Amino acid sequence: MAKIRKGILGPVSGKIGPVVGATWKGIPYIRTKPKKKKNKKRSPAQIAAQEKLKLMNNILVPFHAYITVGFAHEAEEQTEISAAFSANYHTMISGTYPTLEADYSKLQLSVGNLPMINDIHMELQSLETLKLTWKDDFAKNTAFDDQLMLVVYSRELDMTFGFTGGVNRSQKQCLVQIVEPFVGKTLDVYLSMTSFNRKAIANSVYLGKIG
């Protein structure tokens, strides 16, 4: 049974015959009840398109915790993951199924207009310690307490580790402890900046590989 909690002009919640009323991310909508689909043989083009979509979805999974921060301001009427998918799908994946390739140097983990730090230098001091240094001219719309968002990814493990916050723009350096089981692995490193209140964020940058 459907309910109209705010009167006849309000949003519908529940089933009315062949339609269903619901709310998603604060947006009320009505859709038809799903019908059972018959299994149809997929064409080669459909298989290729679906495999490319699947690959992009799988790539983003280990980065979800950072994407929810990095794409928070792009998620209007969609999720942060959907926004990240759209931003990366056409730039990161190349080739033709079944030889699809992913260019991890093009992976975008955040999108915004917060000015990024400059002259970033990455150095692997030991198997367990990564050192980052940078310069900053404290451009307009920046603050000394803007926070680093660091993401380290292992393709071999298909796992990430990192942090958002705890290191300020003004510190101009930080030491990152590489945790097990990432020690000794080849790692991709990404960096972004977010304001302390998370209301602004920078475009992420790919710093390269270590290990």
Contacts of 109 (CB under 8 A, 6+ apart): 63, 66, 67, 70, 84, 149, 151, 190, 192, 204
Positions in the chain short of pLDDT 50:
none
State the Cα–Cα distance between residues 181 and 90, nearest whole angstrom. 32
> What angle is formed at CA 210 by the lines to CA 188 and CA 56, rounded to 5 degrees?
15
3-class DSSP string for 139-179: CCCCCCCCEEEEEEEECCCCEEEEEEEEEEHHHCEEEEECC
pLDDT, tens digit, 9 for 90 and up, residues 62-118:
999 999 999 999 988 899 999 999 999 999 999 989 999 999 999 999 999 999 999
**Which residues span the domain enclosing 68?**
52-210
Q: Say which CATH number the domain at 134 has.
A: 2.60.40.10
Task: Flag whether 44 is in a domain.
Answer: no
The answer to whether residue 15 sits within a structural domain is: no
The answer to whether position 70 is within a domain reads: yes
Instruction: State the SS3 of 65-117.
Output: HHHHHHCCCCCCCCCHHHHHHHHHHHHHEECCCCCCEECHHHCCCCCCCCCCC
What local confidence, expressed as pLDDT, does residue 21 receive? 74
- The pLDDT, as a whole number, for residue 208 is 98
Record the tokens describing residue 84, joined without a space: 């990240």
pLDDT number for residue 136: 87
Report which of 125, 146, 122, 126 is spatially closest to residue 134, judged by C-alpha positions.
Answer: 122
Total domains present in the chain: 1
